[in-house]
Every structure is written in structure tokens, then in C-alpha cells.
Amino acid sequence: MIDLKNLTIEKVHESFKSGEFTCKELVEEYLKVIKEKNTELNAYLEIYDDVLNQADEAQKKFKDGTATILTGIPFAIKDNILFEGHKASAGSKILENHVAVYDSTVVKELKQQGAILIGRTNMDEFAMGSSTQTSAYGVSRNPYDTSRVPGGSSGGSAVAVAGDMALVSLGTETCGSVRQPASFCGLVGLKPTYGAVSRNGIIAMGNSLDQVSPFGKNVRDVEIIFNALSKYDPMDSTSISPKSPKPSLGENPLSWASGKSVYKIGVPWHLFEKGVDPEIMENFKKSIKKLEDSGCEIIDIKLPYSKYSLEAYYIIMPAEVSTNLSRFDGMRYGFSAEGKNLAEVYMKSRGKGFGKEARRRILLGTYVLSHGYYDAYYNKAIKVREKIKEEIVETFKNVDLIATPTTPTTAFKLGEKLDDPVAMYLCDIFAAPANLAGVPALALSSGKDKNGLPFSIQFMAPHFCENSLFEIGKKFELISPDVKSGSRPKGVGK
Ligand code: GLN
């Protein structure tokens, strides 16, 4: 028996090297747990049939000396990440039988390193949602309490890791879709700087916001994955070129990776005045106190424009969604309905193929981009986004990091908020500024509430300062023993 709960990438790597267990033995352990728990938790939509072959291939790399830190590491991947020859449905009926014809850049990289791709995970349809309840393939359940949501949209990828059905996983973020489920499932989630990780081969939701984002049980695992995947990719026009000006940590005068003794953390207290659960605030204040006691300087900051992040996001995102989803017309990809003429085929395919939330956003997006409303909505939202970005960049001249709670509540009940889209959208309130500004952000566990549900704290850093996030994250893990991976749920699914 391998102690899956306390495994980390580095521990696994050492065990592979010492021969304590093989790649296949580890994968077989995960497959056993999947068999036991997946029917109830619905983390995976599919377990790839070549998993054991992948394990054999990985083992060879250890023999021939080409193994890297990710060789043999079991990953779960979100259903919107293309893996050649395998289905990718983005949680939607319209892509039910869609088989990827090429590898996304991130999958190519993982394959090259010999990581093991166990399967594709459940998600909100086209990544639209905060609970994994808009999936066309049923809800996923939170391993801490199966009557609750795991968060979304990358809920399946979070459940896979929290339920010990994979060591680590990939999700995607457009606005909080990794940080929020990480928060609800007691995990670490990183939203990298926009442009740091290739979007090539990711089924797009909002191109100006989307970013592949890892989940792990601890900060170091997420750091290892980020370091492996963060590369310039000519296949993604928004990938950051090595030639473009990019502040390295050394050049950033505020970077405290260079061994500062006092780290300045900005806290926008004014943003928490309304709508934040009192228990969340209490936990957040405790976390801030711990940071202060451990030598950080806490500074009260004001982010007047960031207050409007959600409003800007819910105009910009649907605009991009309506454009991106126009290609799913029943002719080129996936589900196609019968119709008397072309227009009817389009209407029926889209009407039946897309779920309610996807249709709502297509309508909203089409409206805000339409003649006569474009300036009033879309253009205005773009201007607000610029202001938010400016204010965050400005703020980072005075502080090294910004801290907030990750979410305004802990995991809510299945079915809750489903009939109230605005209540659901409010889940993203603290996530949105980082996505709009393109800065990196890290969510990590900060203890548990009285029902044993995880709390989470979020740190944001300046563009390309992921290293500062990893440092503060590791520091926080040390001063906050609750964060340790061993404190995760036991015995789910029996
Ligand atoms: N909750 C966000 C939304 O519904 C999630 C978007 C995302 O990050 N994919 O838009």
C-alpha cells in the first residue's frame, strides 16, 4: 500500500529512483481508488485506456537515464485540454464525441517528460460556472462533504487530487476556475501570469483571460508543474516571447525573492465590506495576523476600480464566449441536429447542444457586442479593465503582494445558487482582478470551518513574479500547519 495522501512530486520521484515502487505500481494504486470513488464523486469523465502503457514508457525513462522530475507523475487533465486521439468535450453535449486531432502544447510537454495522463475530468460546460453543475455529464461532488459542490469550473480536476485519484492535475482559469475549486477542496491552485503558459490546444472560453493552471496538495508541487509548463510557445500568439520585455525577479526592485527581511503585503480591506461570510473574514484575519507575526508588514491598500472587476468580467467574458462558441454550429464539430435547411441545422444543433448557461452567455455576449450597445457595454468594460490593471500595477510599486480571501464562502450545497446566476457569479469576486489584470495569483488552504470545510487565502503578485507566490505560499504552509496535505479527507466513497 502506498500512502497516497502524503505523496508529493519530489517524494514520488525519489521513490521511483530508489525502486521503492514503480510507475505502474503507483498508477495501479490510483486506479484502485478511482474504481472505489469515482462513481460517487464523478471527478473523471474518462480514464484513458493506455494508462498502464504510459506507466511502462515512463519506467523506461528511469532505466535509460532520461527521466525528469515529472516522469511517471500521475496527472488528471480537464476536459477542455486537447490530448491527441482522445475525447475532449469541454463538459458539453455539443462536443460529446469530439476526438482531439492534435496535442495541446501543455500535453505535449507532459508527454515528452513522461508524465502519466490518467484521464479527463469533469467541468462546467465550456468552463462557465463555479460549481461543476453546468456540466452535461452530471455534477462532481466535494470529497470533504459529498452533499456539497467542489467549486468550478475545474471541479473534476480538484476532486481528482483531493480524493487521491491523481497526484496533481491541470485545470484552466478564465476567472477563478482553479483557485475557487482549490479553495473548496483544500488544495493549492495557481493562476499563472497571462501569457506564461501556452493556450495552444485549449478549448477557448475567453481568450484574453484563459490560462492553464495547476492544482496540487502543496505549493512545491504546483511550482514544479509551473516551471515545467511556463515556456514561450510560437503556437500561441499571446505567449510571452523571450524577446519581449519581461521583468525578471532580479530586476524587480520590489521582489523579495532576493532575500528581503520584511515583506510588504497589501490588504484591500474595503473590498470585504459586503457579501463576505463572517467566518471567512475571521479566518482571513487570523491568517493575516500569522503573516504579521512572522515578520511581514501588512499595509491597508485601496483598490477602487477593482471593486468593479466582476461587472467588467461579466461583459468582456460573454463577448469573447459568444465569438468563440460561434464555431460550434453542428457543421464543423460535434453534435449535429437534423433540419430542413442550413439555418434550422444551426439553430437545432446549438439549441440542443448547448446547455442553459452557455446559451445565456452567448446571448449576453452577442448583445454587448451588437451595434448600438458596443460602446455602452463592451468598450466601457474594456476601459474599466485597463483602469483595474493600472491600479494593480501601481499598487505593486508599494507592496510585494496583495492578499484576500480566495472566495466569499466555503463550499456550498449542491443545487444551491443554481437558479440564481448572479449569486453564482459572486463566487468570482476575489478572483476576477488577477484575471483582468493578467497578474499571477495563488490560492492555498488556511484551515477549516466548524463543519470541516476548507478555508483559503489568495496572494496576488506582479506580472511574472510567480516565484514570490511560491515563497509566500511555502512560508504560509510553515506557519499554518492546517495547510498540510495529510489533513485532507479520508474514506470518501465507501
Ligand atoms: N466562475 C467563472 C465563470 O463562470 C469561471 C470561469 C473560469 O475561470 N473558467 O465565468
* Amino acid identity at 431: A
Residue 54 lies in a domain: yes
Q: How far is the CA of 368 from the centre of ligand 1 (A)?
A: 18
User: What is the crossing angle of helices 278-293 and 466-479, to 10°?
Assistant: 90
pLDDT band at residue 275 under the 50/70/90 scheme: confident
Q: Given a cut of 70, is residue 137 above it in pLDDT?
A: yes
pLDDT, mean of residues 277-301: 96
Tell me the percentage of the chain whose pLDDT exceeds 70. 93
Residue 121 lies in a domain: yes
Calculate the alpha carbon distances from 301 to 265, 387, 389, 396 in Å.
9, 16, 15, 10
pLDDT band at residue 261 under the 50/70/90 scheme: low
State the CATH number of the domain containing residue 155. 3.90.1300.10
Q: Given a cut of 50, is residue 255 above it in pLDDT?
A: no
**Domain of residue 161, residue span:** 4-244+410-479
> How far apart (Å, rounded) are the C-alpha atoms in residues 395 and 63?
50
Q: Given a cut of 80, is residue 290 above it in pLDDT?
A: yes
Atom number, ligand 1, closest to the C-alpha of residue 178: 8
Q: Among 24, 78, 191, 389, which one carries the catalytic annotation?
A: 78
pLDDT, mean of residues 324-333: 92
Q: How far is the CA of 215 from the centre of ligand 1 (A)?
A: 16
> How far apart (Å, rounded) are the C-alpha atoms in residues 474 and 468?
10
Confirm whether 198 is a catalytic residue: no
Is the CB of residue 325 less than 8 Å from the CB of residue 207?
A: no
* Residue 307 dihedral angles phi and psi, to the nearest 5°: -55, -25
Confirm whether 104 is a catalytic residue: no
What is residue 483's predicted lDDT score, i.e. its pLDDT? 62
Q: Given a cut of 50, is residue 3 above it in pLDDT?
A: yes
**pLDDT, mean over the chain:** 93
Residues in Cβ contact with 171 at an 8 Å cutoff, skipping those fewer than 6 apart:
78, 121, 123, 153, 154, 157, 158, 177, 178, 181, 189, 212, 213, 214, 215
pLDDT band at residue 262 under the 50/70/90 scheme: low
What is residue 367's predicted lDDT score, i.e. its pLDDT? 97
What is residue 76's predicted lDDT score, i.e. its pLDDT? 98
Residue 373 lies in a domain: no
Q: How far is the CA of 127 from the centre of ligand 1 (A)?
A: 6
Q: Given a cut of 90, is residue 407 above it in pLDDT?
A: yes
Give how many domains the chain has, as a whole number: 1
Give the position of cell 457569479. Answer: 425
User: What is the crossing angle of helices 23-41 and 9-18, to 10°?
Assistant: 140
Q: Given a cut of 60, is residue 249 above it in pLDDT?
A: no
Residue 360 lies in a domain: no
C-alpha of 45 from chain center: 18
Element (H, E) at 471: helix 466-479
Q: Among 89, 153, 157, 287, which one carries the catalytic annotation?
A: 153
Calculate the alpha carbon distances from 179 to 153, 215, 268, 443, 456 in Å.
10, 9, 19, 5, 9
Atom number, ligand 1, closest to the C-alpha of residue 174: 8
| Of 226, 181, 253, 99, nearest in space to 453 by CA | 181
pLDDT band at residue 1 under the 50/70/90 scheme: confident
For β-strands 188-191 and 211-216, DSSP reports them as antiparallel
Residue 324 lies in a domain: no
Q: Given a cut of 70, is residue 91 above it in pLDDT?
A: yes
Which among 124, 194, 309, 325 is the best mutation to test ligand 1's pocket, defined by most ligand atoms within 8 Å of the CB? 124
Residue 491 lies in a domain: no
Confirm whether 78 is a catalytic residue: yes
Element (H, E) at 352: helix 342-353
Q: How far is the CA of 1 from the centre of ligand 1 (A)?
A: 38
Query: Which has more confidence, 1 or 486?
Result: 1
Residue 49 lies in a domain: yes
Residues in Cβ contact with 291 at an 8 Å cutoff, skipping those fewer than 6 apart:
265, 298, 403, 475, 476, 479
> How far apart (Å, rounded) are the C-alpha atoms in residues 439 and 442?
10
Query: Which has more confidence, 471 or 484?
Result: 471
Is the CB of residue 77 less than 8 Å from the CB of residue 117?
A: yes
Q: How far is the CA of 302 from the centre of ligand 1 (A)?
A: 25
Residue 397 lies in a domain: no
Please write the tens of the pLDDT for every residue from 9-51: 999 999 999 999 999 999 999 999 999 999 999 999 999 999 9
Residue list, ligand 1 pocket, CB within 6 Å: 127-130, 153, 173-177, 205, 317, 428
Q: What is the number of H-type helices and E-type strands within the chain?
A: 15, 11
